Structure 1
């Protein structure tokens, strides 16, 4: 399991790299991400560049840009989680790369809002890079039990 701080950094990295696709920040993001994940191995760096290019091309070829970005963030999050698991000491390099990319992003592309919705009797919890404290209230009877209690 990855430390929470590194997991949050991976998600931030994925969001930033995907947000940079098809923007003026793309070349910086592409080059820096490939160099970082390639770790000085040219074949590995080329493979990362190819994947980044394919994803950026997908984004440009689809009419639903925001949807494609939403789909790509978990993919790049998984890649960055795996990278940081193998190279936890590279966290500072990733953070420095993100700080270089973010100022070049168009206004509003540096982050997204996530909505979590529960239906029926469900409960939904959403947290990224922080804590959640949940305190359950008193239990309520299930729908069928409430109807029986009313008749009884």
Structure 2
């Protein structure tokens, strides 16, 4: 397995666990289940149940201050993503696209925005790849 796929698996595992505790959780779960459904439909329902159980474990661990569980979950989902990519390296781009959609700041996510500007004289340029707040007086 090449280094790029290993790094993608690490990124995916970390992102999945991080997103478990956010408002993007349902989109994350649905996107991963959809990905598994395309690669192995018989496993999709099981993956959904495992994702939900992992989220419950993560939230419970955070409530009790158990920091080890989050790392264990991250390692487990990294391994699962690695095995998926070993079986189906052709879905790497689909996984990258999903991660980019769910977490635009994810490492190795394809960057779709390129900004370039030029101002002269007393001109001003304001650019942002995300939120931008400008207060001028």
Q: Normalization by structure 1: what TM-score?
A: 0.63
Alpha-carbon deviations, 1:98-120, whole Å to 9, x = none?
A: 001114x8xxxx68xxxxxxxxx
1:68 deviation in Å? 2.3
Equivalence map 1:1-152=2 (5 Å): 2-39=1-38, 41-62=40-61, 63-64=64-65, 66-103=67-104
Question: After TM superposition, what 4+ stretches of structure 1 lie above 6 angstroms from structure 2?
Answer: none
- Once residues 95 and 9 of structure 1 are traced to their aligned partners in structure 2, the CA distance between those partners, rounded to angstroms, is 8
Which runs of 5 or more structure 2 residues have no equivalent in the other structure?
A: 108-137
Q: Once superposed, what is the RMSD of the aligned Cα atoms?
A: 2.0
1:77 deviation in Å? 0.8
1:38 deviation in Å? 2.7
Alpha-carbon deviations, 1:33-81, whole Å to 9, x = none?
A: 1111232654411100000000001112222364322111110011111
Greater Cα radius of gyration, structure 1 or 2? 1
- Report 1 or 2 for greater relative contact order, CA contacts < 8 Å, sequence distance ≥ 6: 1
- Once residues 41 and 82 of structure 1 are traced to their aligned partners in structure 2, the CA distance between those partners, rounded to angstroms, is 13
Aligned length: 105
Check conservation: 1:38, 1:48, Cα contact below 8 A.
Answer: no
- Once residues 17 and 47 of structure 2 are traced to their aligned partners in structure 1, the CA distance between those partners, rounded to angstroms, is 14
Check conservation: 1:34, 1:45, Cα contact below 8 A.
Answer: yes
Alpha-carbon distance change, 73 to 59 in structure 1, aligned in 2, over 3 angstroms: same
Secondary structure of 1:23's partner? coil
Which runs of 5 or more structure 1 residues have no equivalent in the other structure?
A: 112-152
